[in-house]
Structure 1
Amino acid sequence: MRLLPGLMLLLPLASPFAQAELIDDINDRGELRIALEADMAPFSFKQDGRLTGFDVELAELLAQELEVHSSILVTGNADLLSGVESGKYDVAINHVALTQELQDRFDFSEPYSHLPAQTIARQEQPRSLNSLAMFQGQTLGVAQGNGFVERGPLVTVAQKTPVTDEEVALVIPFQKGNPAFQASLDKALQRIKADGRLEALSQKWFGMSARQP
């Protein structure tokens, strides 16, 4: 009984090592919890009642590479990143563009694609771009950040060329402080890039190669 106080003093020293990393939690669950919005074709959307799209298939491939089940959870814009930050979701695979603001909140996978910055408008209202005055009073969507401002059918009406200096890197955000998970996720991405599966997905959904850095 006299040893008990000494043993109790050791417990606080041992407690930091009891905190599991994200990869350990995922392996224990046997499940990767993936958040996406499912409202932006061809990234993720519902077709005949079934969830499909580039982000959906990418999520399933990555879960296979991590040897766990893919649990795809549809959520809204307000919950998407805050849910990852709180641990409600493990990752968001939702055409998330890497920005400085997000770098302060999350860690990320390596980029899986680079997209050119674009100006877009509603599909039923294509218009020529003669001047910035054309956009006065209009709601615009931009292909940068976590998603488009304007929802609904959209069409590209302007694109900078060349685009090498105007590209956004698409990445997968997760909670900070999980280097082992980051390494596992990056290796999984590298495998699907190396064997052509990412290229096949890009051709299937976008009709073009996944733009790499």
Structure 2
Amino acid sequence: MKQKGIITKLLLVVATLIVAGTLTACGSNKSSNSGSSYKSELTQSGKLTIGLEGTYAPYSYRKDGKLTGFEVDLGKAIAKKLDVKANFVPTKWDSLIAGLGSQKFDVVLNNVTVTNERKKSYAFASPYIFTQYVLVTKSGNNNIKTLKDIKGKKFAEGTGTNNEDVAKKYGAVAVPSDQFVNSLSMIRQGRVQGTVNALDAWNSYAKEQSTKGLKARAIPASEEPFAEVSPMLNKDDTKLKTKISNAIKELRKDGQLAKISKKYFGKDVTTQNN
């Protein structure tokens, strides 16, 4: 009986150790999963790598050789909230989305409008700008007054941009243009009849450059809804998307988002009522 009792105790000890080991393993796995950080989704450790053009004032552009603009300041503010450094990678528009897909950068901040087509392949964090459109034509052109008048007309637009989408929606023939200033030059030269673009881009241009030979009409929301601009990410980067969304919400709540907007646009364009 004594020997049987010893064997029974030994079996109980072994069983206890097995259960404890199993629980420890499960606990370790749970801890590992719950503790996995959004930082594991970053292309470079300790950095939020941001793709942008750097040629589109006032969103991102160079002044005295230095990269500046609304989205540059926004990128720095978001990175600070995420406790990482902002790493900007200036890239031409037609390579921005491809660069995101190849993980050249973590997020695109480049006045990118949320569309149903883009949402099929990419994720979008919380919006940070609501953009009103503008219709720019040659000053002597009296035939184009609204978007309904652009059908069949040649319009200079960036390939793959929401501006191009709007122009095509109303029947315009899109002529590729890689920069807003080039689109305006094409209008002056008579190569195209006009362009659809962001009102804020036009206002920024008008402050620094002559608008001689051009006329612009702000398109009311009743004619074409404001464009919702958001950070664009890879669909799999769900944790990073959540962190960036939360950062933007915090920047909106503490007033930093509006402050940055007023610095570059002269008003708050971060709400639908701007």
Identify the TM-score tier after normalising by the shorter chain. Answer: 0.7 to 0.9
Aligned to 1:6: none
Change (3 A) 1:107 1:162: closer
- Cα distance, 1:22 vs structure 2: 5.3
Amino acid at match of 2:241: Q
Q: Is the 8 A contact 1:198 1:210 kept in 2?
A: no
Q: Is 1:192 the counterpart of 2:251 in the alignment?
A: yes
Q: Is 1:32 the counterpart of 2:51 in the alignment?
A: no
What SS is found at the alignment partner of 2:269? coil
Q: Is 1:175 the counterpart of 2:234 in the alignment?
A: yes
Q: Is the 8 A contact 1:27 1:68 kept in 2?
A: no
Aligned to 1:109: 125
Aligned to 2:188: none
- Cα distance, 1:127 vs structure 2: 4.5
Aligned to 1:7: none
- Cα distance, 1:172 vs structure 2: 0.6
- Cα distance, 1:128 vs structure 2: 5.0
What SS is found at the alignment partner of 1:46? strand
Q: Is the 8 A contact 2:41 2:237 kept in 1?
A: no
Change (3 A) 1:162 1:73: closer
Q: Is the 8 A contact 1:99 1:145 kept in 2?
A: no
- Find the aligned partners of 1:55 and 1:146 in 2 and give their Cα distance: 18
| Paired-residue identity, % | 23
Aligned residues: 192
- Cα distance, 1:133 vs structure 2: 6.4
Unaligned runs of 5+ in 2: 1-28, 165-175, 185-201, 203-214
Alpha-carbon deviations, 1:5-56, whole Å to 9, x = none?
A: xxxxxxxxx9xx8xx8753243970001100011111111111110111111
Aligned to 1:10: none
Aligned to 1:139: 155
What SS is found at the alignment partner of 1:72? strand
- Find the aligned partners of 1:193 and 1:83 in 2 and give their Cα distance: 28
What SS is found at the alignment partner of 1:161? coil
Structure 2-normalised TM-score? 0.61
Q: Is 1:77 the counterpart of 2:77 in the alignment?
A: no
Aligned to 2:103: 87
Change (3 A) 1:35 1:127: farther
Q: CA RMSD in A?
A: 2.9
Q: Is the 8 A contact 1:98 1:145 kept in 2?
A: no
Alpha-carbon deviations, 1:114-157, whole Å to 9, x = none?
A: 11122234xxx444554376886543348x93677542435471
- Cα distance, 1:164 vs structure 2: 8.4
What SS is found at the alignment partner of 2:155? coil
Structure 1 runs, 4 residues or longer, greater than 4 Å off: 132-137, 146-149, 162-165
Change (3 A) 1:27 1:139: closer
Structure 1-normalised TM-score? 0.77
Amino acid at match of 1:105: S
Amino acid at match of 1:120: V
Aligned to 2:77: 61
Change (3 A) 1:71 1:117: same
